[in-house]
Structure 1
C-alpha cells in the first residue's frame, strides 16, 4: 500500500489560483491517491490591512489575482515556504521563473523521499551559450524528477470552467503520468500525457515570438490569411528549432498537442504579446514604453525571447535559417519596417 500523495502548490498568482481550484477538487475526489489537504505557498501581501493568506483561508478566494472565483475549502494558503512544502511528495510549480532558484534552494531537505514535481512555468531560458529548461533547474536543485504542463490555457477561462485542453510532458508515463493526470484532468480541463517534456516547454517559449509577428500583422491591418500564414510559418520554425538543437528529445507530434498548435493559435489571436506588438506598429512607441503603459510593469515575453533566440542563433551563424524569428527581432530592436514581417519570411 503506497502512502497517499501530499500535494503542495508553489505560487498563487492568476494561473496558480486557477490551478489550485482544479487540484483542490481532484485531490478531494481521488481520496485513494491524495491526502485531502492541499497547501499553497502564497507570497504574503497586505490588502485592506489583512494578510492575503488570511483572506484566502477565510473567504476561499484569492481576491487579488482571481477575484470572483471560489477555491475548494481543502486548499490552505501558507505564507512560510518551508511549512508549505514540508513532507510534500508532489510539488506543483506555478510562479515567475526568476524565483525558481531561490525558492528551490530554501526547499532542499524538507521534501518527502521520492518526491516529484511538475512545472507549469511556460518557456525556457535561452542564451548565446545554450538553453536551460525550467523543469531541469527544479530537478537539478531538488534532485527529484520534474514533469511539465503547458497548453492553450488562459487562466480566467479555465477558472470559469470553459473547456480547454493541456499537455503534460512526463518521462515516466505509467507511474508519474498516471498521478499527474488524476491531479489535473477534469471534464472542462482535458489533459493529455506525453513523454516529450522538452517539446512541451519549448513550445511555451517560442510561440510568444510568433505572436509578436502576428501582432505586427494586425497593426498593419492585414487580414486573416496573412495571420494564418505567419502562424503556419512560425509553427514550422518552432519545430525546426526543436529538432535542430534538441534532436530526438523533441517529437514532431508534440507540436500538434495543446502545448503546440493550440497554444500558438490562442496567443496569436489574443494575449499581451499580440496586443503590444499591434500597438508598436500603430503608435511607433518603443517596446519598453508600451510595456509600461499597457502591462502594469510586466515584461513582454515575446520580444525578450526573440532577442534571446537571436543571440543564440547568431552565436551559431544560423539566424538566416529562421527568417520569421529573425525578422521579428529586427523589427522590434533594429528599426526594420514592420512591413517586412511578410517580405522577409
Structure 2
C-alpha cells in the first residue's frame, strides 16, 4: 500500500559551477531516497543567448539523461513553491534581492542550506525567510566534485536532529557552529588570494606554505573571537579554485580583479577579494588591523594598488598569545 506521507521536494537557487554541481549530485541522490520527490527545480538567472532564453537552451540541450526530472526555470518564486529543502548557491552580493523575490512563497516548514559566506549568508536567509538555515562548506572544487572525485564536505547546523541533507548532498562532518563553518569558509578565500599572489610572483611552495600557515593562524584568531570554530581546511582552496587562479593572473597581468573576473570566470563571481574588503572593514573598525597583517596586506594589494610583494610586510606577528579580547559580534 502506497504511503500517504508527502515527499520532500528540493529546489536549487543558482546555476553556476556550484549550482550545476549541486544539481548533478542532488538529482542523482533523490532517486535513491524514498522520502524525496525526483523532481528537482533549479532557478536560473534568465538571460538571452543568441536570441534564445538560457533556460530553454539548458532544458532542451543540456539535460542530464540520467536524471530527466531536473527542471530549470527563471521564476524564483515558482521554483521554491512547495519545496521543503532549498539549496542556495549564488554569490552573496545577489542574495538579498533574490530572497525578497521568494519571500512569502516558501513553505513554513522549509529549511535551507547555503555554501557561501561579515553578515553571513545564513543570517540573511534566516532573517528574510524565517526558516532554519544550515551551512555547507568545503574546501571543495566544484568541477572535481562534478567528476565524482573523492572529497569531504562540512555542514554547520544549529540543530543536527533537523538536518536531513546528509544523504541528499553526500556530505561528511556536521558541526553545531553554523556561523563558524560559514565564516571560516569565507576567510579561506582571502588566504587563497594571498596564495595566488605568491604563485604570480613565482616564489615557490615554501613561501606559499608560509603564507597559508599565517593565513590559517589569522583565520583561527578571528574565528576564536566571533565563533566557536577552531579549525578549517584551507589547503584545497589555496592550491586550486578561482580565487587563487585570478590572484595569480592579477600579479602577472596587472589587470584589476573586476576585469579579470569578467575575462576569466564567464559570468561567475570572485568571492575572495570581496570578502577581503568586508573583513578589513570589520577589523579596521575594531582597531585591530595590526593583529591581522596578512588580511590587511591582501586588502591593500587588491584595493589600494599596493605591490603584491607587500604581502610580506609585518608578518612577524606573535600568535602564541591572544590579546584581542572580545570583538564585536556579527
SS of the aligned residue for 1:35 comes to strand
State the distance in 2 between where 1:218 and 1:17 align: 29
Residue 8 of structure 2 is aligned with which of 5, 28, 50?
A: 5
State the distance in 2 between where 1:84 and 1:326 align: 41
Structural mapping, 1:1-345, within 5 Å: 3-31=6-34, 33-61=35-63, 72-120=67-115, 122-123=116-117, 131-176=118-163, 179-185=164-170, 190-244=171-225, 246=226, 249-252=227-230, 255=231, 260-261=232-233, 264-296=234-266, 300-345=270-315
Q: Which shows bigger deviation, 303-312 or 314-323?
A: 303-312
C-alpha deviations, 1:84-113, integer Å up to 9, x for none? 211221111112223322222222232223
8 Å CA contact 2:87, 2:112 repeated in 1: yes
SS of the aligned residue for 2:140 comes to coil
C-alpha change, 1:144 and 1:241, in structure 2 (3 Å) is same
C-alpha deviations, 1:316-344, integer Å up to 9, x for none? 11000111111222333334443332342
C-alpha change, 1:343 and 1:137, in structure 2 (3 Å) is closer
What's the counterpart of residue 66 of structure 1?
none
State the distance in 2 between where 1:45 and 1:142 align: 26
Please list every run of 5 or more consecutive structure 2 residues that lacks an aligned counterpart in the other structure.
316-330
8 Å CA contact 1:26, 1:182 repeated in 2: yes
C-alpha change, 1:99 and 1:219, in structure 2 (3 Å) is closer
8 Å CA contact 1:42, 1:79 repeated in 2: yes
Question: What's the C-alpha RMSD, in Å, of the aligned pairs?
Answer: 2.3
SS of the aligned residue for 1:6 comes to strand
Please state how far the C-alpha of 1:303 moved relative to its aligned partner.
2.4
State the distance in 1 between where 2:125 and 2:198 align: 37
8 Å CA contact 2:141, 2:240 repeated in 1: no
8 Å CA contact 2:135, 2:155 repeated in 1: yes
SS of the aligned residue for 1:208 comes to helix
Please state how far the C-alpha of 1:49 moved relative to its aligned partner.
4.4
SS of the aligned residue for 2:152 comes to strand
State the distance in 2 between where 1:52 and 1:344 align: 48
Relative to the length of structure 2, the TM-score reads: 0.86
C-alpha change, 1:23 and 1:214, in structure 2 (3 Å) is same
C-alpha change, 1:77 and 1:202, in structure 2 (3 Å) is same
SS of the aligned residue for 2:208 comes to helix
SS of the aligned residue for 1:7 comes to strand
C-alpha deviations, 1:18-52, integer Å up to 9, x for none? 10111111111111x21221122222334454433
Please list every run of 5 or more consecutive structure 1 residues that lacks an aligned counterpart in the other structure.
62-68, 124-130
- The alignment covers a number of residue pairs equal to 312
Please state how far the C-alpha of 1:311 moved relative to its aligned partner.
1.8
Relative to the length of structure 1, the TM-score reads: 0.82
C-alpha change, 1:199 and 1:71, in structure 2 (3 Å) is farther
State the distance in 1 between where 2:259 and 2:80 align: 39
